[in-house]
Amino acid sequence: MNIHEYQGKEIFRSYGVNVPEGKPVFSPEEAVKAAKDLAQDVIVVKAQIHAGGRGKAGGVKIAKSVDEVEIYAKELLGKVLVTKQTGPAGKKVNRLLIESGCNIDKELYLSLTVDRATAQIVMIGSEAGGMEIEEVAESAPEKIIKEYIDPFIGLTAFQARRMAFKLNMEAGLINKAAALMMNLYKVFVEKDCSLVEINPLVITKDKDVMALDAKLNFDDSALYRHADITALRDETEEDPKEREAALLGLNYVNLGGNVACMVNGAGLAMATVDIIKHYGGEPANFLDVGGQGSAEDDAKAFKIMTADGQAKGIFVNIFGGINKCDIIAEGIVEANKMLGLKIPIVVRLDGTNFKEGREILQKANIPNLIMVESMTEGAKKVVELVKNA
| Residues contributing to the annotated binding site for Mg(2+) | 199, 213
In DSSP notation, 299-315 reads: HHHHHHHHGGG--SEEE
**Who contacts 217 (Cβ-Cβ below 8 Å, separation ≥6)?**
1, 2, 193, 194, 195, 196
Residue 292: how many CB atoms within 10 A of its CB?
12
The span of 22-30, 209-217, 340-348, 369-377 binding Mg ion (CB under 5 A) equals 209-217
Q: Residue 72 catalytic? A: no
The span of 94-102, 132-140, 264-272, 346-354 binding ligand ADP (CB under 6 A) equals 94-102
Choose, by CB under 6 A, the member of 24, 28, 52, 265 that binds ligand ADP: 52
Helices (H), 81-207: 133-139, 157-166, 171-190
**Who contacts 70 (Cβ-Cβ below 8 Å, separation ≥6)?**
28, 31, 32, 35
Catalytic, out of 5, 6, 72, 109: 109
Nearer residue to ligand ADP within complex by CB, 113 or 175: 113
Nearer residue to Mg ion within complex by CB, 83 or 352: 83
Single-letter amino acid, residue 171: A
Counting residues that bind ligand ADP (by CB under 6 A) gives 17
- Could you tell me the smallest distance in angstroms from the CB atom of residue 27 to ligand ADP? 21
For residue 343, the partner it binds in ligand ADP, Mg ion, none, with Cβ less than 5 to 8 A by kind, is none
The DSSP bridge partners found for residue 45 are 61, 98
Question: 349 in helix, strand or coil?
Answer: strand
The span from the CA of 346 to the CA of 334, in Å, is: 16
Choose, by CB under 6 A, the member of 13, 55, 94, 282 that binds ligand ADP: 55
Q: Residue 190 catalytic? A: no
- Could you tell me the smallest distance in angstroms from the CB atom of residue 72 to ligand ADP? 13
Counting residues that bind Mg ion (by CB under 5 A) gives 2
Binding mask 7-46 for ligand ADP (x = CB under 6 A): -------------x-----------------------x--
Choose, by CB under 5 A, the member of 83, 199, 306, 352 that binds Mg ion: 199
Nearest to 251 by CA among 236, 270, 234, 232: 270
**3-state DSSP: the chain helix, strand, coil percent, rounded to 5?**
40, 25, 30
Residue 303: how many CB atoms within 10 A of its CB?
14
Choose, by CB under 5 A, the member of 147, 197, 213, 326 that binds Mg ion: 213
The helix or strand, by DSSP H or E, that contains position 240, with its residue range, turns out to be helix 240-247
Does 58 engage in binding with ligand ADP (CB under 6 A)?
no
For residue 44, the partner it binds in ligand ADP, Mg ion, none, with Cβ less than 5 to 8 A by kind, is ligand ADP
Catalytic, out of 147, 197, 330, 334: 197
Residues that bind Mg ion (CB under 5 A): 199, 213
Residues that bind ligand ADP (CB under 6 A): 20, 44, 52-55, 60, 99, 101-102, 104, 107, 130, 199-200, 212-213
Residues serving a catalytic function are 109, 197
